[in-house]
């Protein structure tokens, strides 16, 4: 029997995810992507130097996206705790680590902006030195992002597996969630071991498969009622 809290958690997950992904996509594409030079933090810093206001707008969106991550993992835990409490807790903890690394990424970007400001003793580094320091900070933030991506892939795969066990959603959809999350985690881990992996396989594709799963899951949770295990098994039993 599906509890009322689980149905509320499902709706909260769907609405929060759609709002969160809309915020970060607009913020990234409008206020950060025009100044981003892939795998070149120093050159990115030079572009960012004269667009601090736009970058801070992006960081505000990134902060809200990080808050959304915490809401999402909590909603999924509430939804799936009755099915497999241990695995749901492990998945939530893994996604929480991902959120922590996301905020580290945001902090590194703020640190880069401070370097570029060149206040106090930093004035002695000159424009080139400040750009190099800021670039190193941005590169560190990118590494934090990919570490978090591995944990996000692990947590998402575990959540998708519990969804598969629960029969709350169609099992083919749950399988897609598992496979896409494993793919995301593998890409993040491969990038950390071999940074040139980003040139071999575009980073634009790392998160696309799990994003399609999350969107399909949102639409299912919003417009279709969750299937209880008893309802899902009833036709097979009758047969």
CA distance 135 to 84: 44
* pLDDT, mean of residues 183-201: 84
| Chain mean pLDDT for the chain | 90
pLDDT value of position 108: 96
Q: What proportion of the chain, given as a percentage, has pLDDT over 90?
A: 72
Q: Is the pLDDT of residue 230 over 70?
A: no
CA distance 177 to 162: 11
pLDDT value of position 232: 44
pLDDT tens digit string along 42-92? 899 998 888 999 999 999 999 999 999 999 999 999 999 999 999 999 999
Closest by CA to 156, choosing from 72, 84, 81, is 72
pLDDT value of position 127: 78
Q: Can you give the three-state secondary structure of 94-136, one letter per residue?
A: HHHHHHHHHHHHHHHHHHHHHHHHCCHHHHHHHHHHHHHHHHH
CA distance 28 to 30: 6
pLDDT value of position 234: 43
pLDDT tens digit string along 60-73? 999 999 999 999 99
The residue ranking higher by pLDDT, 3 or 108, is: 108
Long-range contacts of 113-120, Cβ-Cβ distance < 8 Å, separation of 24 or more: 113/48, 113/52, 113/55, 113/56, 115/45, 116/45, 116/48, 116/49, 116/52
Distances (CA, A) of 202 to 45, 110, 228, 237: 22, 26, 39, 47
pLDDT tens digit string along 104-159? 999 999 999 999 887 777 777 787 888 899 999 999 999 999 999 999 999 999 99
Q: What proportion of the chain, given as a percentage, has pLDDT over 70?
A: 92
* pLDDT, mean of residues 171-191: 95
Distances (CA, A) of 58 to 23, 102, 147, 150, 166: 9, 13, 21, 23, 38
């Amino acid at each position: 029997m599906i509890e009322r809290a689980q149905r509320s958690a499902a709706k909260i997950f769907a609405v929060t995810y759609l709002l969160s992904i809309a915020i970060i996509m607009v913020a990234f594409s409008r206020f950060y992507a025009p100044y981003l030079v892939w795998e070149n933090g120093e050159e990115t810093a030079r572009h960012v130097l004269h667009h601090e206001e736009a970058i801070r707008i992006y960081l505000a969106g990134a902060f809200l996206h990080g808050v959304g991550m915490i809401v999402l993992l909590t909603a999924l835990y509430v939804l799936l705790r009755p099915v497999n409490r241990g695995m749901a807790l492990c998945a939530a903890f893994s996604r929480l680590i991902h959120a922590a690394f996301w905020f580290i990424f945001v902090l590194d970007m703020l640190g880069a902006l401070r370097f570029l400001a060149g206040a106090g003793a930093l004035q002695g580094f000159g424009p080139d030195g400040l750009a190099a320091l800021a670039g190193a900070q941005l590169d560190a933030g990118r590494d934090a992002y990919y570490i978090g991506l591995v944990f996000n892939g692990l947590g998402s795969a575990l959540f998708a597996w519990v969804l598969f066990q629960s029969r709350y959603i169609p099992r083919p959809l749950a399988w897609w969630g598992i496979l896409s999350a494993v793919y995301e985690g593998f890409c993040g881990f491969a990038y950390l071991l071999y940074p040139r992996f980003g040139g071999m396989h575009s980073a634009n594709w790392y998160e696309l498969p799990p994003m399609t799963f999350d969107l399909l899951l949102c639409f299912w949770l919003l417009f279709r009622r969750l299937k209880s295990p008893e309802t899902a098994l009833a036709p097979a039993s009758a047969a």
